[in-house]
Amino acid sequence: MNRSLHSVREKSLVFIGFMGVGKTTVAQLVAKKLYRDFVDIDHEIEKEYGMPTTEIFKSIGEAKFRTKEKEYVLRYCKQPLKVISLGGGAFMQEDIRKSCLEHSIVFYLDISWDSWKERLHMLVDSRPVLQNRSLEDIETLFNERKSTYEDHNSKLMTDHINEEEVADYIIDSVKLAWELYS
Ligand code: S3P
C-alpha cells in the first residue's frame, strides 16, 4: 500500500551516509539548484540547545540527541519540497528509516574506507562518535553502518567526483524519476 503523502515530484529529498562524506554540502547545492528549502537536522538540534553537537553529547547525552534527531527527521521528511541532510547515525533508528523511505526520496552518498580515512583528521574534533575510538573500531562502525545505508532509493559512490558533480548527478536522477513516475 502506498501511504506516501506527496507525489514523487513534491517529495522531499533526504541525504544519508557516513560522517564527513559531504551530505550537508551536496544537499545545500541540490536545494539551491532546485529552489527548495535546505534542512540540516544536526543544525536544527544545535539551534534548539544553543550548543554544538559535541557539547550536546557531553552535557545532555547521546540518548537525548537521538530522541531529538528522530523528532526532527520524522517532522521534516513528511513535509514536501525540502532537501534534508541527516547526521550519519540517524538512519540507524528504524523509525527514521521507515519514515524517510515512505515519505521522501533517500539518496545514499557512499565512499570507500580508503578514501574516508584520509578525512578522519578533519572530522574527529567535531564528531563525538569518532572520539576515543581506535581506527579499527571506526572501520568496524563504518562497515556496520554501510549495510544499513543500503536501504535507500538511490546511491552514488563519491570517491572520485567533487561535490558539485555529485549534486548535478543527483539532480539528473531526480528529474528522471519525476519523468518516469509522475
Ligand atoms: C553522527 C554524525 C554527525 C552528528 C553526530 C552523530 C553519527 O553528523 O549527527 O555527531 O552518529 O554518525 P554528520 O554525519 O553530518 O557528521
Residue 109 near residue 152, CB atoms below 8 Å: no
What pLDDT digit, counting tens, does each position of 22-81 carry?
Answer: 999 999 999 999 999 999 999 999 999 999 999 999 999 999 999 999 999 999 999 999
Q: Which amino acids bring their CB within 6 angstroms of ligand 1? A: 19-20, 23, 42, 53, 87-89, 127-129
**Number of the ligand 1 atom closest to the C-alpha atom of 69:** 9
Q: Decide if pLDDT at 3 tops 80.
A: no
Which residue's alpha carbon is nearest to atom 8 within ligand 1? 87
Structural domain boundaries of the chain? 12-172
∠ Cα 6 76 47 (to 5°): 165
Residue given cell 547526521 in the structure block: 87
Cα–Cα distance, 123 to 2 (Å, whole number): 39
140 Cβ neighbours under 8 A, 6+ residues apart: none
Q: Decide if pLDDT at 170 tops 60.
A: yes
Residue 182 — pLDDT band, cuts 50, 70, 90? confident
Rounded to 10 degrees, the C-alpha dihedral 14/36/167/112 comes to: -20
C-alpha 87 – ligand 1 centre gap (Å): 4
Mutate to test the pocket of ligand 1, among 19, 60, 91 (most ligand atoms within 8 A of CB): 19
Instruction: Tell me which of 3.80.30.20, 1.20.1060.10, 3.90.550.10, 3.40.50.300 is the CATH number of domain 12-172.
Output: 3.40.50.300
User: How much is the mean pLDDT over the chain?
Assistant: 96
Residue given cell 562497515 in the structure block: 143
